[in-house]
Structure formats: C-alpha cells, structure tokens
DNA sequence: TTATAAGTTGATAACGTTGTCAATTGAGTC
DNA sequence: GACTCAATTGACAACGTTATCAACTTATAA
C-alpha cells in the first residue's frame, strides 16, 4: 500500500480511501490510485484492515457441522454459504464427528480467528464455555439441536412430532411390532425421536417391546447389522422405523439382501437421495435442511447487525413422503 | 494482552513468550502468566499474531469446490479437512457452481484473507490471474481438473480411460447404439470423458451417431429430459453412458418411470449412494474422491512447507463396479 | 474584499501481536 | 574478587491497515 501511495503520489490514507470507496476523493486522484493499484498488482490485506477498523468485523463466520460429507450437513452448509456470500462473508467449516473435544477444538480455532459469528450443530451438551465468547461479541445460532446451559437462538426440527407421524403411519397400516433403530443417545435429536416412538406407541395402546429397540446405532454398517438381528428374533417386527438417514440406508441394504424389502415396511427419518427409485421407494419423514440453513444464516446476520432482542427458537416442520416402503401392510 | 501482562506483573513480550511456548521463561513467571490468562479469559488474536509474525502464516487454507453439497465435492472436502485439522489448519470452503466469475470472486476473497494455500476444482480455464498470487507465496493444488495457462500441481482422475472402460463394458455386452449424456462442455472432465466415448467407439469400429449424443446436460432434471428424448428416437439406444453422478441419477429416474430400467443398459461415471440397492443396481465407473482429497491436501502442505520441486501431476485410477445395470445384454 | 463553508488531502497514532536487541541477574571459574 | 557466560526479561519498533484531526484549496456569500 505504501508503494501504491508513492507511485500515485498521494498519502497512505488516500489509498485507503479509494479502496474503501469513501466519497471524499477527487476523480482525478482516484483514477491515479486505481492505476497504481493495478500496475503494482496490489492486494488488500483483509486481516490488517479488520484489525484496525472500528467495527472489527472479519467478514468470516464459522460453521460447525456433524460431518461436511453427510448429505444433511452439506445441504445446510450450502444454504449458509449462499446467504453469507451475498454479504461478502466467507465460511469456515468443520466436522465435529459427534466428538465433544473436537467441537471445542474447532470452535476455539474459529474464535481465535475472530469470526463474526458461529452456526453450530452441537455435539456436546454444555455450552457454558461459550458464554465468555458471546460476551466478547460473537453472535451464535444453534441448528438441529438446542444449546445446553446457554440461552441462544436455535433452529430445530420437530423431531417428536415427525417421528410420531412416521410411527403412526406404520400403525395405520396395521403394524404392531415396529422395530426401532436409533442413533447415539448422546445426540439430542436421537433422544427426541425415540421419545416420539414411545409416545406414539402409547397413544395407540401398543406395548413397547424392548427387544425391538436398538439404540446407539451409528452409521450404515451398524444399522445393517442391527436390522439383521431384529429380523432374526423369534417374533420379528413387521415394520421398521429408522431414525436417521444413514440408518435408513443400512436397514434398506439389509432388507434387500435378505429379500424382505417387499414384506417388511420401512419408514425413515430424513430423506435419502435416490429413495424414490428403489423398489419399493423409501417412505420418509423429510427434514428441510435448506430452509434450516437459510433461516439460521439469516438469524445469525441479524444478530451480527446488532439485533439484541430475546432468543428466537424456530421449529421447522417435517413432511411425510410416501413412496411405497411405508405402505406395506402387515 | 496488555491487561494480562499488568496482572502478572510482566511485560507484553513475556506474555507473548508464554503463549508461543518459547523456552526462555522461568516456571514461576510462566505460571503467573498462565493464571492471569485464565483469570481474565484472554483470547489470543490469531490475525494480529500472523500479521506481525515473520512466517506470515494464517493456518487457514481455501478450498474451491463445484458445490459443497455435491457428494463428490463434499467427500473431497471432508478428506482435506481431516488432513488440515491434524496440522491445526482451518478450511474456508466455497462453491463455484461452474461459474467463472464466482470462482474468481471466491479466490479473491480467500487470498485477501491471506490463506496459506488453495485447493481448487476449477470452473474456468485461464488461471494466469493466479500467477501473481503464486509469486506472492500462495501455494496451490488443482483437483479433478487441470489448471489453464499456469503450471501447478494437479490431482486428476483418468477420465478418458475410465470412460473407455465403461463404454467398452457396454460394447462387450453386445451394444452398438450407446447413448451418451455429457455435462457442460466448459468442464474439462466432461470434454475428456466425451473423448473417451469417441475413442472407444472408434476402437470397436462403431460409427458415432450424433443423435445419440447429448452434451451440455447439467443437473438431474435436464438429464431426465434428455434421456426421454433419446428413448423416443425412431432408432433408440439400447444402452446409456452417463458421464456424471447427477446425470446418472436423472437417467435412472427416467428409465424407472418409463419402466425401461430392465431393458436399457446403463453405466455411469462417478458412484452414487444407494446405487447398489436399485433394481438393477447401477454399474458405475467409480472415482475415488477421498484419495484425491487426501493426496491434494498432502501435496498442498508439502508446498506450504517449502517444497519447491517441479509440479506434480497425479492421476488417480477409476474402478468399474458391476451391479447389474451395465450387464443388461442387447 | 473578507469571512465562511465545503471539499480534499495528509501526518500521526493506533489496532494486537512478535522480532530484535539490549539490560539484568545469578552462577560458575580462575 | 573480578570475570565470563548463560538464562531471563523488557523496551521498542514494526506488521498493513484505518480513525482522528488538522491543514490546505477552492467556491460562495456578505
């Protein structure tokens, strides 16, 4: 910048004015400076700028996801990116892998780079460690799961209602023995979905058979194995409810291999790509990650822009998509 | 930091020494400083630090993908993240959407934040605009597609060989009229794959019927429509080769809807999740995005660490996965 | 003509940190 | 007791930028 100023024959401050498009610069000086910038191939240093600047904004946000490669996470990510880019804000993304330590490590890395805000799909349950961050002015929005011991904005899915609708759908098709595959119970959404299962069974006066329930099943392969176990029971289920996208895929894989996919009903929570082309198509309770991502980003930027109002808690509804697998009758 | 120094009764520089774990600090002073840091909840400012520091490293890299939500892209992204995080490096990610302007906008945003390096899946073909960046010390590695007018490291897939293997597989199953769906011809990989199609037909002495070729098909819906068109021809193809993951999904959708999925053979380039559960399963030429991401990140960090050797051009092989759709005979 | 205002421009300090180098202390050596 | 040396600590400048405020120029009004 010093060289640009020298070449254009002006002061540092004037170059700064041109770069920041401040009005008080004559056209003649401005064009001289612009010329010098191009001739010298000058690149503005965003970090130095935000260090000195009064608003201290880095125009960068941190996004903590479960796994950037998971379809639900990456749909969230993409929507956040689009909202952010419209404001010239860049996105630092990280995967927690449901590991509390990794969550904290990543968030510490984000905040030490002075991000303007955080969008968090939490893996841990105690976010009091973020209190001081917030006091320091970092905005934050939680997505998919609520914060623990911290009052902050959240954009959630209605997990209980969604699960109840899915399980109810199976009951309406004559099923009483409905197997359940649940993700790690440390995950809030997994707990809520399981509660939905319990409630819907109770509402239909169906006794809960613990043998039919497999909790803490994580990933495609474990779901595949758990499905095989369930179907080997002396009184196997006539239907399955799988409470997460990878579990749905695992269960579906097992059913196909055992050639039971036309006989055992299946409803999954969260949509799966290509679910419509299978035979039968997979009936799902679809979440809406794009809307969640957009709402989360919009809320974050409202906070960054200075909105101090009380915490917002938004619940995005789910949608039952019937494609065949959930309509198999007992 | 000033306050920490005051509370611990030492100078700024000593606090800096403690933070950077420099050896020349007595245990007694160190513990006083550590105590003050905790009492005051001090957060180190990474940006200010790297501004002053002699190595000028920000411990941040920029990753430009086609779309963070595309399965191929997000698998790359995840692998890069894992390599980076092991070094304490954070990842800024962005989606170009195959738009040259957006590519340049994102890369400019990355470099103005002084990233240590770039991993680029390019949308454009002239990267001479990056010359000055590289001269300024930014390392860069290209993935999936080569750089244009710039000598830089690249990690590519063998698109021609992969396509030839896939088309050859169809020919071996008796097909002569093989429809081809290609992505935007501005994308290097789309061009290479099409060349593979031409070459394999020529090698088998099969004339190329332009009616069977649909290029510049982008996204699931366009692929669906193009497939319908091909099958409506008076002399329709008996097999299809779809040269990208979304095109495979679109074609598969159309075949299922027309109930031709058991009669028309299909081989796709790039694997699709759940492709094994369809009836028939989808035969694909699988790429290996995880390996590509890992190799790209490792190469980038070698450059960041000062490796000045000649550009590396790595070609990751593809793998034919037979699942049924490609083995339908004419 | 002078006073006033509006529009430009620049000198300097500061953002939070680390590199350089000099100063101080204490122990060990002869 | 004087000397050397290593270990520890601090003063100050600097990284690339912008905020503040003062100074200068030109136009307008009285």
**Cβ contact B29 with chain C strand, < 7 A:** no
pLDDT for the residue numbered A139: 97
Chain B residues near residue A92 by CB distance under 8 angstroms: 60, 90-93
Domains A2-44 and A60-157+289-316 share a fold: no
Chain A residues near residue B97 by CB distance under 8 angstroms: none
Give the pair of three-digit tokens for residue A55.
């608003």
**Cβ contact A24 with chain C strand, < 7 A:** yes
Task: Count the residues in chain B.
Answer: 330
Q: Give the mean model confidence (pLDDT) for residues B160-185.
A: 97
| pLDDT class of A281 with cuts at 50, 70, 90 | very high
Question: Which CATH topology does A2-44 take?
Answer: 434 Repressor (Amino-terminal Domain) (1.10.260)
Query: How large a percentage of chain A has pLDDT more than 70?
Result: 100
| pLDDT class of A120 with cuts at 50, 70, 90 | very high
Residues B255-287: tens digit of each pLDDT:
999 999 999 999 999 999 889 999 899 999 999
Asked if A93 lies within 8 A of B91 by C-beta distance, the reply is yes
The DSSP symbol for A185 reads T
pLDDT for the residue numbered A54: 79
Interface mutation target, options A58, A69, A96, A281, chain B, most CBs of B under 10 Å: A69
pLDDT for the residue numbered B24: 83
**Cβ contact A13 with chain C strand, < 7 A:** yes
| pLDDT class of A193 with cuts at 50, 70, 90 | very high
Closest CA-bearing residue to C1' of D16 = A48
Q: Give the mean model confidence (pLDDT) for residues B279-308.
A: 96
pLDDT for the residue numbered A56: 85
pLDDT for the residue numbered B271: 95
Query: Residue B100 CA to D18 C1' — how many Å?
Result: 32
3-state secondary structure of A27: helix
Distances (CA, A) of A98 to A131, A142, A190: 21, 15, 12
Domain ranges of chain A: 2-44, 60-157+289-316, 159-288+320-327
Question: Which CATH topology does A159-288+320-327 take?
Answer: Rossmann fold (3.40.50)
Give chain D positions with protein CB within 7 A. Answer: 7-20
Where is average pLDDT lowest: A38-47, A117-126, A168-177, A238-247?
A: A38-47
Give the pair of three-digit tokens for residue A188.
């809030």
Asked if A91 lies within 8 A of B88 by C-beta distance, the reply is no
pLDDT greater at residue B328 or residue B56: B328
Q: How far apart are CA B33 and CA B48, in angstroms?
A: 20
pLDDT for the residue numbered A274: 87
Dihedrals φ, ψ of B224, to 5°?
Answer: -60, -50
Asked if B45 lies within 8 A of A112 by C-beta distance, the reply is yes
Query: How large a percentage of chain B has pLDDT more than 70?
Result: 100
B209 has a pLDDT exceeding 90: yes
Query: How large a percentage of chain B has pLDDT more than 90?
Result: 93
Closest CA-bearing residue to C1' of D9 = B14
Closest CA-bearing residue to C1' of C12 = A13
pLDDT for the residue numbered B55: 87
Asked if A113 lies within 8 A of B273 by C-beta distance, the reply is no
Query: Residue B122 CA to D15 C1' — how many Å?
Result: 33
3-state secondary structure of A271: coil
Calculate the average pLDDT of chain B.
Answer: 96
pLDDT for the residue numbered A24: 83
Residues B1-49: tens digit of each pLDDT:
899 999 999 999 999 999 999 888 889 999 999 999 999 999 999 999 9
Tokens 């100023």 locate to: A5
Residues B232-252: tens digit of each pLDDT:
999 999 999 999 999 999 999
Question: Which CATH topology does B60-157+289-316 take?
Answer: Rossmann fold (3.40.50)
Of B18, B20, B38, B21, the residue nearest B30 (C-alpha): B18
Q: How far is the alpha carbon of A46 from chain B, nearest alpha carbon, in Å?
A: 5
Give the pair of three-digit tokens for residue A128.
């009091």
**Cβ contact A25 with chain C strand, < 7 A:** yes
SS (H, E, C) chain B: CHHHHHHHCCCHHHHHHHHCCCCCCCHHHHHHHHHHHHHHCCCCCHHHHHHHCCCCCCCEEEEEECCCCCHHHHHHHHHHHHHHHHCCCEEEEEECCCCHHHHHHHHHHHHHCCCCEEEECCCCCCCHHHHHHHHCCCEEEEECCCCCCCCCEEEEECHHHHHHHHHHHHHHCCCCCEEEECCCCCCHHHHHHHHHHHHHHHHCCCCCCHHHEECCCCCHHHHHHHHHHHHCCCCCCCEEEECCHHHHHHHHHHHHHCCCCCCCEEEEECCCCCCCCCCCECEEEECCHHHHHHHHHHHHHHHHCCCCCCCCEEEECCEEECCEHHHCCC
B195 has a pLDDT exceeding 90: yes
Residues B93-125: tens digit of each pLDDT:
999 999 999 999 999 999 999 999 999 999 999
Q: Give the mean model confidence (pLDDT) for residues A202-218.
A: 97
**B259, A280 contact by CB (below 8 A):** no
């Amino acid at each position: 910048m010093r060289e640009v100023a020298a070449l254009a024959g002006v002061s540092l401050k004037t170059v700064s004015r041109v770069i920041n498009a401040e009005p008080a610069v004559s056209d003649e000086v401005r064009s001289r400076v612009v010329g010098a910038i191009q001739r010298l191939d000058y690149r503005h240093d965003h970090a130095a700028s935000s260090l000195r600047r009064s608003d201290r904004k880095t125009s960068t946000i941190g996004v903590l996801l479960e796994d950037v490669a998971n379809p639900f996470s990456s749909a969230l990510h993409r929507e956040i990116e689009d909202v952010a880019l419209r404001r010239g804000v860049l996105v630092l993304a990280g995967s927690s892998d449901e590991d509390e330590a990794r969550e904290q490590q990543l968030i510490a890395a984000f905040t030490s780079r002075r991000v303007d805000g955080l969008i968090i799909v939490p893996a841990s349950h105690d976010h009091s460690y973020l209190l001081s961050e917030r006091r320091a002015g970092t905005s934050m929005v939680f997505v998919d799961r609520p914060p623990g011991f911290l009052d902050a904005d959240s954009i959630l899915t209605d997990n209980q209602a969604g699960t109840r609708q899915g399980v109810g759908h199976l009951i309406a098709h004559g099923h009483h023995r409905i197997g359940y595959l649940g993700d790690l119970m440390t995950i809030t959404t997994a707990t809520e979905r399981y509660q939905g299962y319990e409630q819907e069974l109770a509402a239909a006066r169906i006794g809960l058979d613990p043998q039919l329930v497999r909790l803490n099943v994580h990933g495609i392969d474990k779901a595949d194995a758990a499905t095989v176990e369930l179907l080997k029971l002396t009184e196997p289920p006539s239907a399955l409810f799988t409470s997460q996208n990878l579990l749905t895929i695992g269960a579906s894989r097992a059913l196909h291999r055992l050639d039971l996919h036309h006989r055992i009903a299946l409803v999954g929570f969260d949509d799966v790509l290509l679910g419509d082309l299978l035979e039968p198509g997979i009936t799902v309770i679809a979440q809406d990650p794009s809307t969640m991502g957009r709402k989360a980003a919009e809320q974050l930027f409202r906070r960054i822009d200075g909105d101090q109002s009380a915490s917002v808690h938004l619940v995005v509804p789910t949608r039952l998509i019937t494609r065949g697998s959930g309509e198999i009758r007992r």
